[in-house]
């Protein structure tokens, strides 16, 4: 006989575990089916092993979706403060790394252990190595798997997106949604490094490891944070944020001096450091290796010139380049290193109150598999917690 439950949750990540806790606490009989060898793999690897579990400044504007209003309901009913209260209940020490990003002082293992404890207290059953899963629906949901069949009144798709396939990511959730007639918004990698080809690739390769604060603009969206040159292109927080708004074929713009006016800086240097070489002046504000590359690229004739000997018009031109360096990425590194998947199950198919499918009774979709993706900095975890709670209170 198949094992029977009130709720079957597919996926033992952040959203799946949180939904299981909420449903179990309501007295529901819950099973979590995870295809990998262990639960919470992305929790464990996140934040460099310290798990950036939420952000104090979480608001709907921190999310991308075809329907930007969809996330409002869930985020307002289970807030960052609710999750912080849970963390504090379990005595987990944490800190604000800046910009409201909360990390464990010790290890992300503490967050996973907290969720496992809450699941155990709520009577949730968790099974790993559940491979070859397939779903049918009659009056109930029937999930067949390598661990046998399971029958449930409600089914929750919490299978995540396509980001980081080596962690077990797959398109199973999207295929399942389509099986039940749900629309899936085209997916692509988000929060992912840019890559370049040709001369720009050679330049970033030479600068690999060089980091600096900068402002990046992509499709009219601007982010100021560190950028990092890599063997393949551009990474760092500002680059990752901009990548979620960039479309292939578009330019991005870099302001390498986000906290200064480059023209004023060079004009002042002409007065105060007239005998200094331009590269010497710029190296006081930018990494020297970057200055030398820019010099070779944009102002080779000024290589050995003193600032005093460079015409004001040329200094203005150089200042403009420093604050509006236009680049055209060839692509991104894709799902291999992406922190989130953009697109997913169409929010028009779901209730924003309960995450229930409008046209398929008893089916719920939560977390990254849904067309809601957050900025870098703990926002995606908060969406996982909030959307899971919304469903967990309804299943």
* Contacts of residue 241, Cβ cutoff 8 Å, sequence gap at least 6: 191, 216, 223, 225, 375, 376
In order of 9, 144, 151, 172, 178, the CA distances from 135 in angstroms are 12, 6, 10, 11, 12
Determine contact, residues 388/158, Cβ cutoff 8 Å: yes
What's the helix, strand, coil split of the chain in %, to 5?
Answer: 35, 25, 35
Tokens of 76: 């307002």
**For residue 166, what pLDDT is reported?**
87
Helix, strand or coil, per DSSP, at residue 370: strand
Q: What residue ranges define each of the domains in the chain, with the CATH number in brackets?
A: 3-189+337-392 (3.50.50.60), 193-332 (2.40.30.10)
What's the per-residue H, E or C state across 292-307? HHHHHHHCHHHCCCEH
Q: Could you give the strand order of the β-sheet that contains 325-327, starting from the edge strand earlier in sequence?
A: 325-327, 252-255, 211-218, 221-229, 233-235, 194-195, 331-332
Helix, strand or coil, per DSSP, at residue 344: strand
Rg (CA), the chain: 25
Task: With CA atoms as reference, report the closest residue to 343 among 162, 84, 149.
Answer: 162
**For residue 55, what pLDDT is reported?**
98
Longest dimension (CA), the chain: 88
Instruction: Say how far apart CA 124 and CA 149 lie, in whole Å.
Output: 17
**For residue 302, what pLDDT is reported?**
81
Task: With CA atoms as reference, report the closest residue to 126 among 8, 2, 46, 1.
Answer: 8
In the chain, how many H helices and how many E strands?
Answer: 13, 21
Q: Indicate the pairing of strand 150-157 with strand 3-10.
A: parallel
Instruction: Say how far apart CA 14 and CA 203 lie, in whole Å.
Output: 39
Instruction: Say how far apart CA 66 and CA 369 lie, in whole Å.
Output: 14
Dihedrals phi, psi of 340, to nearest 5 degrees = -155, 160
Dihedrals phi, psi of 370, to nearest 5 degrees = -85, 155
**For residue 303, what pLDDT is reported?**
77
CA count, 13 A, side-chain hemisphere, 343: 12
Instruction: Say how far apart CA 133 and CA 168 lie, in whole Å.
Output: 14
Determine contact, residues 24/30, Cβ cutoff 8 Å: yes
What is the distance of C-alpha 344 from the center of its chain? 14
**For residue 167, what pLDDT is reported?**
86
Confidence (pTM): 0.95
Determine contact, residues 130/3, Cβ cutoff 8 Å: no
Sequential DSSP letters for 26-49: TT--EEEE-SSSSS-HHHHHHHHH
**For residue 168, what pLDDT is reported?**
87
Q: Chunk the chain into consecutive blocks of 10 residues (it has 395) and report each block's average pLDDT, rounded to whole numbers.
A: 94 98 98 96 95 97 97 98 98 97 98 98 98 96 96 98 91 98 98 98 98 98 98 98 97 97 94 93 96 95 87 94 97 97 98 98 98 98 98 98
Neighbours of 227 (CB within 10 A): 26
Instruction: Say how far apart CA 43 and CA 37 lie, in whole Å.
Output: 14
Instruction: Say how far apart CA 115 and CA 126 lie, in whole Å.
Output: 12
**For residue 301, what pLDDT is reported?**
85
């Amino acid at each position: 006989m198949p094992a029977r439950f009130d709720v079957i949750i597919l996926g033992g990540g952040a959203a799946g575990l949180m939904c299981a806790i909420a449903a179990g606490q309501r007295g529901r009989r819950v099973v979590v089916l995870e295809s990998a060898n262990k639960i919470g793999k992305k929790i464990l690897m996140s934040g460099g092993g310290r798990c950036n579990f939420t952000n104090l400044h979480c608001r709907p504007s921190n999310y991308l979706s075809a329907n930007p209003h969809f996330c409002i309901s869930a985020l307002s009913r289970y807030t960052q403060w609710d999750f912080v209260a849970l963390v504090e209940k379990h005595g987990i020490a944490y800190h604000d790394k800046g910009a409201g990003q909360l990390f464990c002082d010790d290890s992300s293992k503490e967050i996973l252990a907290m969720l496992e404890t809450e699941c155990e207290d709520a009577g949730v059953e968790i099974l790993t190595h559940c491979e070859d899963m397939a779903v049918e629906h009659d009056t109930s949901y029937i999930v067949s798997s390598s661990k046998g069949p399971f029958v449930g009144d409600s089914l929750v798709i919490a299978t995540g997106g396509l980001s980081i396939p080596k962690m077990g990511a797959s398109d199973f959730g999207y295929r399942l949604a389509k099986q039940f007639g749900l629309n899936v918004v085209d997916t692509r990698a988000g929060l992912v490094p840019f890559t370049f080809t040709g001369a720009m690739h050679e330049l970033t390769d030479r600068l690999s490891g060089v980091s600096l604060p900068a402002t990046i603009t992509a499709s009219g969206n601007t982010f100021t944070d560190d950028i990092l040159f890599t063997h393949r292109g551009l990474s760092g927080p500002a680059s990752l944020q901009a990548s979620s708004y960039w479309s292939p074929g578009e330019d991005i713009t870099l302001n390498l001096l986000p906290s200064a006016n480059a023209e004023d800086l060079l004009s002042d240097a002409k007065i105060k450091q007239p005998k200094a070489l331009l590269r010497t002046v710029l190296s006081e504000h930018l990494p020297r290796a970057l200055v030398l590359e820019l010099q070779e690229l944009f102002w080779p004739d000024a290589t050995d010139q003193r600032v005093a000997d460079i015409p004001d018009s040329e200094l203005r031109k150089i200042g403009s380049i420093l604050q509006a360096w236009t680049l055209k990425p060839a692509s991104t590194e894709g799902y291999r290193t992406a922190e989130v998947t953009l697109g997913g199950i169409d929010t028009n198919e779901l209730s924003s109150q309960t995450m229930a499918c409008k046209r398929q009774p008893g089916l719920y979709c939560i977390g990254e598999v849904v067309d809601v993706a957050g900025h870098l900095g703990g926002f995606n975890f908060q969406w996982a917690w909030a959307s899971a709670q919304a469903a967990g209170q309804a299943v």
